[in-house]
Copies of this chain bind each other. A is one copy, B any other.
Amino acid sequence: MEIDEVPIVRITEQRRSDFKDTVTVELPITIILDNRELVTLLCSPAKLDYLALGFLVSEGLIKSKDDIDSITIDSERGFARITSRNNMVIAPDLSSPQLIASSSGRTLQPYASANGDSPGEIKSGLQISPAEIYTIMDDFVQRSRIFRKTGGVHSAALSDRQNILLFSEDIGRHNAIDKVIGECLAIGLTTDDRIMITSGRVSSEIILKIARRNIPVLISKSAPTTLGVKIAADRGITLIGFVRGSRMNIYSHPSRVLTGKISQSD
């Protein structure tokens, strides 16, 4: 259950009344890798296996599903137990300083490593039109079922330009993206030449997840940060923000957005 009803008192201009409100469920899940507690994520309870997979790949601990022998989810007790193939995954040194994300957050990596194991600049010939971007964003918003009921979650999705292929919601915007990335890994869907969509703001950690999966285009309903823009520019990612109605801002690598019919000025 991703939503729950709680008793509230609702106040309006006219009255004070008892009411039931639909609230998004928050669940702590501890990821245990090869019998070692790695991290506790606060998240929404759906697709926890994808979340665990996506988290490990976003942290650079695994590269493919083949690095994993098994994932066991115990959502009742709040555990995701992962066994790596031949215990081959080297977990990060937890005595090193932690990076606390700016928002909806997660990462174990100290910030320095943002420029460490750099995957280089993403080369992709993908091109997309504004009309396609608006259509994808409309579809994305329509699918945000839990957000419409609770106002308490973020969404993420993967698109091949024509369609939304995968969609996730989570109380954390990082988690929503990790669930999409994990599902790609689980079902063997490539992220190359694909588009990630997020409801949330684009800070450095978000763009680093996208870079690691070689995704050339990120579109968001919201604002980026300066560091998010810088990393997108450095990594060859087309970062598009404030996609609302028939408007958008392109913060980096605008050549992937084709505008044949509208006039170009400046």
Contacts and interface: CB of A to CB of B under 8 A. Distances in A.
Interface residues of A, number: 84
Contacts of A105: 100-106, 172
Number of copies: 2
Interface in A212-248: 222-229, 242, 246-248
A262 B15 contact: yes
A120 interface: no
Interface in A109-135: 110-111, 130
Contacts of A104: 101-105
Contact of A38 (B97, B130, B204): B97
Interface stretch (A18-26, A66-74, A159-167, A189-197): A18-26
B152 A225 contact: yes
A81 interface: no
A117 B105 CA distance: 24
A194 to B, nearest CB: 21
Contacts of A110: 40
B203 A42 contact: yes
Contacts of A224: 23, 152
Contacts of A94: 94-98
Contact of A99 (B12, B15, B40, B262): B40
A171 interface: yes
A43 B203 CA distance: 10
Contact of A42 (B12, B101, B249, B257): B101
Interface of A: 4, 6, 8-19, 21, 23-28, 30, 37-43, 94-108, 110-111, 130, 150-152, 154, 170-175, 201, 203-205, 222-229, 242, 246-251, 254, 257, 259, 262-266
Given A12-B247, A15-B263, A24-B225, 8 more contacts: A15-B262, A19-B249, A25-B225, A30-B97, A42-B100, A98-B108, A102-B172, A103-B105
